Structure 1
Amino acid sequence: MGWDTVFSITNILALGGWLLLIFAPRKALTFSAITYIGVGLLCLIYVIGFSGLLAGFLDPGGPSPPLGDYSVTGLQTAMFKNPGGTVIGWTHYLAFDLFIGLWIARDGDAKGFSRIWQAPILLITFMAGPLGLLIWLILREPAARRAQPRVKK
């Protein structure tokens, strides 16, 4: 299986998870499917790909992940010039962004935010993970403060 195929599979898994998160009923089965089929499989693909690149089993003779040079140049040269490294890096983003989206949805439900308010934040998180997370952290703060019991001094 080539890196283009792995790339397609990871995108389909992530998109499926996001569609469930935004449009499906918020039930235990939905959250389990997103967690294990979406995030879990993306993590498994990442671990297999990263380990295979590191060990030289995948793309033998090609660049491998940098172990000592975590500079911009080191990452470009050792990781992201390699198609496998790019796909594995992308899979990392997909897994973490979907996990953050899952947390935002659960947190939003717990704090009483309607899905109409959650949907644009989830879409922003899907497209630009840290931006969506930052927006959510700002919006949730007043609700989080209201939910905390007051401590008497």
Structure 2
Amino acid sequence: MTETLFTLSFVAAAPFWALMIVAPTWRVTRAVAASPLIVLPAVAVNLVLLLPLLGAFWPVVTRPTLAGLQALVASPEALAALWAQIIAWDLFVGRWIYLDSRERGLHPLLMAPVLFLTILLSPIALPLYLGLRLTSRNYGAAGAPRGHKARTMT
């Protein structure tokens, strides 16, 4: 059961990642990603795993020690619960990156690797995106420098 829930936590998030990476300009993707509720399937898996272990988690999160955390994650159920939390958090961060990058007009081919890295290691991807965001500061949504008209194809 724990192994199934562990796998389900990512499977529940994967369709949202696929939309943001593979179909970033599709209006359906934008509509789906507009809701923070996309993280709820992974959160639900986390809660199924976490609630029976709340008594073991509570002392570790209220008085954290490395030894306490190490002892907690020795349990496959606790580790799977933490994994589901990571999956939900990464999706939440990825959703923000996706929405912000679309608003700033960053090219989807530039953003695909950033979003993929967010799935794998969001603590590296987030500062990377923030750096890209700084470079886009002087550009409008069409990619033209602010104060200049973007050329359009007619």
Normalised by the size of structure 2, how large is the TM-score?
0.78
CA RMSD, 1 decimal: 2.3
Percent pairwise identity: 25
Amino acid at match of 1:43: V
Whether 1:75 aligns to 2:54 is no
Match among 49, 57, 64 for residue 65 of structure 1: 57
Could you state the TM-score of these two structures normalised by the residue count of structure 1? 0.78
Cα distance between partner residues in 1 of 2:31 and 2:80: 25
Distance 1:32 1:117, change over 3 A: same
Structure 1: state its 5+ residue gaps.
Answer: 56-63
Q: Are the equivalent residues in 2 in contact too, given 1:3–1:87 (CA < 8 A)? A: yes
Q: Is the 8 A contact 1:13 1:37 kept in 2?
A: no
Q: Does 2:82 correspond to 1:95?
A: no
The count of corresponding residues between Structure 1 and Structure 2 is: 138
Name the aligned partner's letter for residue 83 of structure 1. Answer: P
Name the structure, 1 or 2, with higher relative contact order (CA <8 Å, separation 6+).
Answer: 2
CA contact (8 A) 2:5 2:80 kept: yes
Give the counterpart letter for 1:15 in structure 2. Answer: A
Residue 61 of structure 1 aligns with which residue? none
1:107 matched residue in structure 2? 100
Instruction: Determine if the alignment matches structure 1 residue 117 to structure 2 residue 95.
Output: no
The secondary structure found in structure 1 opposite 2:118 is: helix
Q: Give the CA deviation at 1:83.
A: 0.8
Equivalent position SS for 2:5:
helix
Structure 2 residue runs of 5 or longer lacking an equivalent are 141-145, 147-154
Looking at structure 2, the residues matched to 22 and 135 of structure 1 have their Cα atoms a distance apart, in angstroms, of: 17
Q: How does 1:2-151 map to 2 (within 5 A)?
A: 2-27=1-26, 29-31=28-30, 33=32, 35=35, 38-54=38-54, 64-67=56-59, 68-77=62-71, 79-144=72-137
Could you list the runs of 4 or more consecutive aligned residues of structure 1 that deviate by over 6 angstroms after TM superposition?
Answer: none
Offset of residue 66 of structure 1:
4.3
